[in-house]
Amino acid sequence: MSVEFSFLLVQALSGLASASSLFIIASGLTLVFGVTRIVNFAHGSFYMLGAYVAVTIVPWLLQIERSPTLFFIGVLISACVVGVLGVLMEILLLRRIYKVPELFQLLATFGVVLMVQDAVLHIWGPMDIAGPRAPGLRHGVMILDQRFPAYELFLICAGPVVLGLLWLLMHKTRFGILLRAATRDRDMVGALGVNQALLFTGTLFLGAFLAGLGGALQIPRVSASAQMDLSIITEAFVVTVIGGMGSIGGAFLAALLIGQLQAFGVLIFPKITLVLVFLLMALVLVVKPWGLLGRPEAAPASAMPEGIASPRRFRVFEKLLVALALLAAAMLPLFGDAYAVKVATEVLIFAIAAFSLNFLVGNGGIVSFGHAAYFGLGAYASGLLVTKLGMPMEPALIAAPLAGGFFAALFGFFIVRLQGIYLAMLTLAFAQIAYAVCFQWVEVTGGDNGIVGVWPSTWAASRIAYHYLVLAVAVLGIFALRHVIYAPFGASLRAARDSAPRAEAIGIDVRGHRWLGFTIAGAAAGLAGGLYAFSKGSIDPTLLGIPLSVDFLAMILLGGMQSVMGPVLGAAAFHSIKDVFMPLTDHWRFLLGASIIALVLIFPRGLGGAYASLRARFAGGAQ
Amino acid sequence: MGSIIFGRRALLAGGAGLAAAAAGRGAAAQGAPIRIGELNSYSRMAAFCIPYRNAIQMAAEQINAAGGVMGGRRLEFIFRDDGATPGDAVRVAEELLTRENVSFIAGTFLSNVGLAVADFANQRKRLFFATEPLSDAITMAQGNRYTWRLRPSTFMQTRMLVEAARGKPQKRWAIVAPNYEYGQSAAANFKRLIGGAIPGAEIIAEQYPALGRIDAGATVGALAQARPDAIFNVLFGPDLTAFVREGNTRGLFERRFVLSLLTGEPEYMIPLGDETPEGWVVTGYPWEQVEGAEHRAFVEAYRARFNDTPRKGSLLGYVTVQVLANMLNRANSLDNEVLVDTLRDLRSDTLVGNVTMRGIDHQGSMGTWVGETTQRNGQGTMRNARYVDGTDYMFPEEEVRAARRA
Amino acid sequence: MTLLIVENLNKNFGGVVAARDVSFSLAAGEMLAMIGPNGAGKSTSFNMVGGQLRPDSGRVMLEGQDITGLPPRAISRLGVGRSFQVAQTFLSMSVLENLQMALIAYAQRTRDMLARADALFRDEALELLDQLGMADAAARPMNTLAYGDVKRVELAIALAGKPRLLLMDEPTAGMAPGERAALMRLVAGIARRAAIGVLFTEHDMDAVFAHADRILVLVRGEIIAAGTPEEVRANPEVQRVYLGTSGLRAALRARAAAHG
């Protein structure tokens, strides 16, 4: 098949139109990150709201007169409405949590995502809503012998126009100059006596406005649906990371790159769209650890790191608590019903996974957005051995941590070379690549249907027997990991987290230690995944997915990432909240999101942190 | 008290006792209600699942008002969100069975969720009436004694469409399908069947955009470049709207024959509005055109009760209750082994006429409507639509035997 | 044998010369100061010796062994301790744990997953703290210490590796004047007693002229003068580009105080 020039041209134009749309959205995200350092998951929700508001307002305006002017006025009004919603989020939520650890801010914005999803369903109903086409831009334009939508030609221009306007704003206005200054050095701007609250509110308005604009501009192309938030947010993150967090020019470049890659990628690998952008991100980060145009994050001024400080041994009272909890878990089958046993089993499994994640995040300062990958790969290892090779449960369970550890070592080799948000995004990229392989390799993994028939050996088949098996493994696993945290290796990870230059200067191979830590955490997550597979009887790619990774993060944050045993508490709390709300209402995600936000606001250091300060107050009062 | 009530009978007895105390007053039906656990993606797939639940509630109310089932017992559905992931769904199924003491479970939308729950039901030896998941695997390779499916599968619906294309002159076909199991297996079924209906037909291009994330411009461009005579489309929902708009503007569908799965279902047709293409051959549910007093009464009742027009999900929910009620009346027992045996080749009179649960693969013979898309008053609808009974479009028996033995 | 020999180190950053043919040597027990205006390339030269930067060309020899371009951890294991311009310690740990960590690293037991870190090397750690007059603060969390004390703990951490060479990048930066003198006296005492070579950069001329045995003067990446404090003070070139009159006066005063 000969490929003629006109086709290539039009395909490139299609890529440019997508790039333009993507850039408008990503520019808002990168701006908000640059100034506030908040990884705003809710940015995708703003995009979705932009589309929903537009499909409501624009048809109403077009009833007055079907003119292009009114269409674009409607789009701008929608963007402004969303901008105001951004301001509301800043004032009601973010402003209260600027002082809490960055990960908590991320979790709070994730709570907003959940709430907005259900709010949208409630307000606009479950049906997709198709917006009107733009008057005057409905037709196709002949480009050589190919027809190309006029509206997309308009979009191609819109991206650079937004870029230009942003440039003018950033360089010609006081607000913009402050924004740039804050992106470089936040404390500096505060020291200059600038009203920081106002600056941040303005930034959130601008960020949400851009997201809303991106969404509103899409209505002639796609219908507004309740899933559009999550589908855009990962891509927007990829663009900002490839471009370099905080760099608007970088976002533009990255969007162009991704747009063209998608447009031509589908010609060569029609199934690769699932993973293409993540492959690109992984590649860019391995070669350029700060993105294309990002600058290295200034080494954080010697601030107290977030996470586990010197771990204390259990005191008598705490030993009692642990013993009680163990006793409760062991006795549960006697007084709880069958379902309670099942839930407890799951909590224990998630507790291992959460503990292993906090081993990385809390103890090592290595934030992973993709921890579910190792959990899922462990599950797949077990499941494949049982179903494909007919192995019994016992060896399959041993294979789970090996698989988790192997892939953690493989991916970790590249991951531990990076720092901060870039490291986190590379963990996400590898997780998505692993997800895509499990999803796509239908012959082996069963694709998205997954694998069924992964049941325990006969002796462990009953709920109760399996509960005891999981309890035993969880106690062993968690206490082994806990021991490592107290051991020189755990201390070395903390040392590297506190000050990498100092750790290197006393002879610690920081990268090597992080790599080993990453591998150990991956192995533990893999073990949890194996146990999970046998508790459910089936595995599928959602076990490697971003939502589960976010769940794990939520668990450690709710539990308190600075406490050693907090993640166990967090796993129990998170799972219980979900389990209580899910049967209550269709809008359980709203309640889950609201409780996450409430917990972040009430316990900004997690339940473990709340316990620690309670104990401190108690001890203080007793003296 | 015994540690855990594992015995099914003991469990049911306990459940019945509890439920009897709470039995509704004034209901026409007498005796302990029959509790059925229904789990579905009410949150994630609300567009399909909520009309489905509405109709189930309506059908159950109607049956209860008319005296219930099994000699006067009320039908009671316990609805749960399945979280749209297999892990959550299996836990919810467990909760329904152990804590809510339901007699059996029904529902699920996504194929991976349906398969996981099916395997779970097999492990626990409890009936699972899979209403919505389309995956062929549920009744074929991964079918089991306890799992039955009502809705026509991917294979059946594809086969109906291919039959509608029989003898057409178009030989060069392009496929566009969402990149997940449903899309992939529809494409595979199509590749397998099209040669039989159109000798010499060949697939010259395939596009598999990620579900919910289609890059419509690039996809339409790539398809147009291959210059096919005809297109087989499996996209639905937001992907479909974006694809159709882009294709309309770029002229992809001009002078091309299009077969399209599910596009005629109101769930996916309504958002297309005045963009609905002319003359696509689709499967769907033209509720306003369906003849028969019983169906008209259903539409009237549904509109009166919910102030909305019925969707495909509504129809499916209603038929589900009809089949389940028939099963319960015939079995006159809640023993799941008896229920499963009763379902074998069970014939039920439903809104869509006779539906038989075929014994060899546990697939219902419920069909769907095949027709052409058209526009009326700026809204999409179907013309020349006819109900195609599923019986003749199921997997051949020998194939079923080979697949289910494995 | 000479402890440290640095030969013709060069480093460019995107065309800007940060070090040009920097050469010097340092004997055991000697205190060598590197001074120069801001941006003269002190930190660059320093970090090339410590392994934080890889030179474009040139050699660094430690007791006859070529350590050019080795990573910091390897250089550390060869007996080079260092302190940073902004003190780098383990803030989440207690003072004692900081020292224990350094000793664990020196013993190459950082991969040990069995022992309990808080039980290892306690006595040795306390001994080191005692040497620096910090024993009372052993149990205090690092982040509650005054900056001067943080600097002392950092020095203790550097000494935990029993270094032959100590690299100190502005050891007294950010300290009160009284503390500065005390810290420099402490360093000088330890260095002489244990025959540790000390290479340090410093802005505080009092400290330099009071304690350095020899001084290197860097300007725009080049050494323009080297020698004893007296020689450097007498060098007219140095006076012109760097010391100025006020600096010179300070240097004289410091010398008088130290030896008076």
Identify all chain A residues contacting C88, using CB atoms and an 8 Å cutoff: 302, 499, 501-502, 505
Please judge whether A506 and C91 are an interchain contact, meaning their C-beta atoms are less than 8 angstroms apart.
Answer: no
Whole-number average pLDDT of chain C: 87
Q: Is A262 exposed, middle or buried (0-12, 13-18, 19+ CB in 10 A)?
A: buried
Q: Nearest by CB to A130, which of B85, B215, B272? A: B272
Is A141 within 8 Å of chain B by CB? no
- Residue C51, phi-psi category: left (phi > 0), alpha (psi -120 to 50), beta (remainder): left
Q: Inspect the interface and report whether the beta carbons of A304 and C143 lie closer than 8 Å.
A: yes
Confidence grade of residue A189 (pLDDT, cut at 50, 70, 90): low
**Residues B131 and B320: beta-carbon distance below 8 Å:** yes
CA separation (Å) from B201 to B165, B222, B279?
11, 20, 20
Q: Name the burial class of residue A310, with classes exposed (0-12), middle (13-18) and buried (19+) by CB atoms within 10 angstroms of its CB.
A: middle
Point out which residues pair with C39 in neighbouring strands: none
Interface test with B, best of A117, A449, A466, A467 (most B CBs within 10 A): A449
How many CB atoms lie under 10 A from the CB of residue A137?
19
Q: How far is A48 from chain C (nearest CA, A)?
A: 42
pLDDT, position A299: 53
Query: What's the whole-number mean pLDDT along residues A111-137?
Result: 91
SS3 content of chain B, % helix, strand, coil (to 5): 45, 20, 35
- Cβ distance A488 to C112 less than 8 Å, yes or no, reads yes
For chains A and C, having 3+ Cβ pairs within 8 Å is answered yes
Asked whether B and A share 3 or more beta-carbon pairs under 8 angstroms, the answer is yes
Whether residue A144 has pLDDT greater than 90: no
> How many angstroms separate the CA atoms of A415 and B325, rounded?
57
Q: Does the pLDDT of residue B263 top 90, yes or no?
A: yes
Structure tokens at A238: 């990829």
Structure tokens at C105: 């690293």
Of A366, A365, A374, the closest CA to residue A406 belongs to A374
Residue C92, both tokens: 């989440």
Pairing of strands C4-13, C57-62: antiparallel
| Residue B1 in this model has a pLDDT that exceeds 50 | no
Whole-number Å distance between alpha carbons of B33 and B26: 13
Which chain A residues are closer than 8 Å to C117 by Cβ? 486-488, 490-491
Contact C90 A499 (CB under 8 A): yes
Q: Per-residue pLDDT for chain C (260 aa), expressed as one digit of tens each?
A: 689 999 999 998 877 888 899 999 999 999 999 988 877 888 888 889 988 889 999 999 999 899 998 999 999 999 999 998 888 999 999 999 999 999 999 999 999 999 999 999 999 999 999 988 889 999 999 989 988 889 899 999 999 999 999 999 888 888 888 888 888 888 999 998 999 999 998 888 888 888 899 999 988 888 988 999 888 888 888 877 765 555 555 555 655 555 43
Of A180, A199, A202, A203, the C-alpha closest to A190 is A199
The answer to whether the beta carbons of residues A603 and A118 sit under 8 Å apart is: no
**Interchain pair C105, A302: CB under 8 A:** no
Alpha carbon of residue B207 to chain centroid = 25
Task: Tell me which of B43, B49, B203 to substitute to probe the interface with A (most A C-beta atoms closer than 10 Å).
Answer: B43
- C-alpha distance from A165 to closest chain B C-alpha (Å): 26
Task: Please indicate whether, in this complex, the C-beta atoms of C111 and A486 are within 8 angstroms of each other.
Answer: no
Cβ-proximal residues to B192 (8 Å cutoff; 6+ apart), any chain: none
Pairwise CA distance, residues A425 & A427, whole Å: 5
Q: Is residue A607 scored above 90 in pLDDT? A: no
Q: What is the mean pLDDT of chain B?
A: 90
The mean pLDDT value of chain A amounts to 90
SS3 for B207? strand
CB distance C73–A501 less than 8 Å?
no
Which residues of chain C lie closer than 8 angstroms to A359, CB-CB? none
Between CA A265 and CA A287 the distance in angstroms is: 21
User: Please, which residues 330-369 of chain A have a Cβ atom closer than 8 Å to chain B?
Assistant: 333-334, 337-339, 341-343, 346
In A, which residues are within 8 Å of B6 by CB distance?
Answer: 338, 462
Higher-confidence position of B261 and A338: B261
A147 touches B at CB < 8 Å: yes
| Predicted local confidence at residue B7, as pLDDT | 38
Nearest CA in chain A to B266: A127
pLDDT in tens, B112-128: 999 999 999 999 999 99
Taking the C-alpha atoms of residue B367 and residue B68, their distance in angstroms, rounded to an integer, is 27
Q: Tell me, what's the pLDDT at B230?
A: 96
Q: Between C93, C117, C160, which is nearest A486 by CB?
A: C117
Of B44, B94, B181, the CB nearest to A339: B94
The 10s digit of each residue's pLDDT in A414-473 is 999 998 888 999 999 999 999 999 998 888 998 888 998 899 998 998 889 999 999 999
Q: Does B272 touch chain A (CB under 8 A)?
A: yes
pLDDT at B24: 39
Condensed to tens digits (0 to 9), the pLDDT of residues B289-311 reads 998 899 999 999 999 999 999 99
Task: List all residues 6 or more positions away from A165 whose beta carbon is below 8 Å from its beta carbon.
Answer: none
Compare CB distances from A488 to C120, C154, C160 and report the shortest one's residue. C120
Per the structure block, which two tokens stand in for B281? Answer: 């051959």
**Is the Cβ–Cβ distance between C142 and C91 less than 8 Å?**
yes
Q: Is A236 exposed, middle or buried (0-12, 13-18, 19+ CB in 10 A)?
A: buried
Q: Does A136 touch chain C (CB under 8 A)?
A: no
Please identify among residues 495-514 of chain A the ones whose CB lies closer than 8 Å to any CB of chain C. 495, 497-499, 501-510, 513
In three state form, how does the secondary structure of B347-366 look? EEEECCEEEEECCCCCEECC
B142 contacts chain A (CB < 8 A):
yes
Angle ∠(A202,A205,A210) on CA atoms, nearest 5? 130
Predicted confidence (pLDDT) per residue in B157-203, tens digit: 999 999 999 999 999 999 999 988 899 999 999 999 999 999 999 99
**What φ, ψ does residue B130 adopt, rounded to 5°?**
-75, 110
Task: Identify the closest residue of chain B to A118 by CA–CA distance.
Answer: B43
